[in-house]
A and B are shown apart, each in its own frame.
Chain A
Amino acid sequence: NAGVTQTPKFRVLKTGQSMTLLCAQDMNHEYMYWYRQDPGMGLRLIHYSVGEGTTAKGEVPDGYNVSRLKKQNFLLGLESAAPSQTSVYFCASSPGQGWGTEQFFGPGTRLTVL
């Protein structure tokens, strides 16, 4: 099993450009999450999903949109990138009742917005 995979691994955008980050998991997990990690600030939840076709806002959702059309995929979109969105983005998944179970993280996407 590949676990949780993320594409791309690196990306450089100009301010105002858009992009989509793809997360895929092959563990049949119900819950999926998008986090951003900035120096000294730990991991902050952007959006999450408790099942196919459902999404919800996390701690820092502004400027991002998500979709979960298939159970195994969770997409994170930036419609108009800003320098403040320069960060490392991690996707994670967990089985049902995810708040009480282990989260499995992908390798991350390093995004730079110029």
Chain B
Amino acid sequence: GQQVMQIPQYQHVQEGEDFTTYCNSSTTLSNIQWYKQRPGGHPVFLIQLVKSGEVKKQKRLTFQFGEAKKNSSLHITATQTTDVGTYFCAGWASGSARQLTFGSGTQLTVLP
């Protein structure tokens, strides 16, 4: 079945440093979504990418969808303590079982 791998599993950064998490799918995706989960909270949708090579920005966050639509990345510039949480990617492959497949997440800790 479809698998979505996410690395790294954990990342500790000093406040102000950059952070990147990577997502790789075993199959070509129709779309990929990114969610953020604060400690003790629930996942909250950040963005969806659909087109090959697509790049979207939200303030200090930059999201990319690979040309082959099998990988994606989330980059945070100049991290802040408010960025703490776990970031999940979730992909859907058309023609597969009708469900999003979530990556295992990257837990980000920002040290002040």
A and B from one assembly?
yes
Evaluate contact between A105 and B88: CB separation under 8 angstroms.
no
Evaluate contact between A58 and B99: CB separation under 8 angstroms.
yes
Q: How far is the CB of A96 from chain B (nearest CB, A)?
A: 13
Evaluate contact between B45 and A45: CB separation under 8 angstroms.
no
Nearest chain B residue, comparing its CB with the CB of A43: B102
Evaluate contact between B103 and A103: CB separation under 8 angstroms.
no
Evaluate contact between B99 and A42: CB separation under 8 angstroms.
no
Evaluate contact between A44 and B92: CB separation under 8 angstroms.
no
Give the CA-CA distance A44 to B104 in the complex, in Å: 9
Q: Chain A residues with Cβ under 8 A from B101's Cβ? A: 59
Q: Chain B residues with Cβ under 8 A from A104's Cβ? A: 45
Q: How far is the CB of B75 from chain A (nearest CB, A)?
A: 20
Nearest chain B residue, comparing its CB with the CB of A103: B45
Q: A107 at interface (Cβ–Cβ under 8 A)?
A: yes
Q: Chain A residues with Cβ under 8 A from B85's Cβ? A: none
Q: Chain A residues with Cβ under 8 A from B30's Cβ? A: 99-100
Return the CB mask of A23-54 against B: 1 if under 8 Å, else 0.
00000000000010000111111001010000
Point out the residue from B6, B90, B99 that lies within 8 Å of A48, measured CB to CB: B99
Evaluate contact between B99 and A100: CB separation under 8 angstroms.
no
Q: Give chain A interface residues in 55-78, CB to chain B under 8 Å.
A: 56, 58-59
Evaluate contact between B102 and A42: CB separation under 8 angstroms.
yes
Evaluate contact between A42 and B105: CB separation under 8 angstroms.
yes
Evaluate contact between B33 and A102: CB separation under 8 angstroms.
yes
Give the CA-CA distance A70 to B82 in the complex, in Å: 38
Listed residue (A42, A48, A58, A103) with the most chain B CB atoms within 10 angstroms of its CB? A42
Q: How far is the CB of A94 from chain B (nearest CB, A)?
A: 9
Q: B100 at interface (Cβ–Cβ under 8 A)?
A: yes
Evaluate contact between B100 and A103: CB separation under 8 angstroms.
yes
13 contacting pairs across A/B (C-beta < 8 A): A42-B6, A42-B103, A42-B104, A43-B88, A43-B102, A50-B98, A56-B98, A59-B1, A59-B97, A59-B101, A99-B31, A102-B45, A103-B100
Using a CB–CB distance below 8 Å, which chain A residues touch chain B? Answer: 35, 40-45, 48, 50, 56, 58-59, 90, 92, 99-108
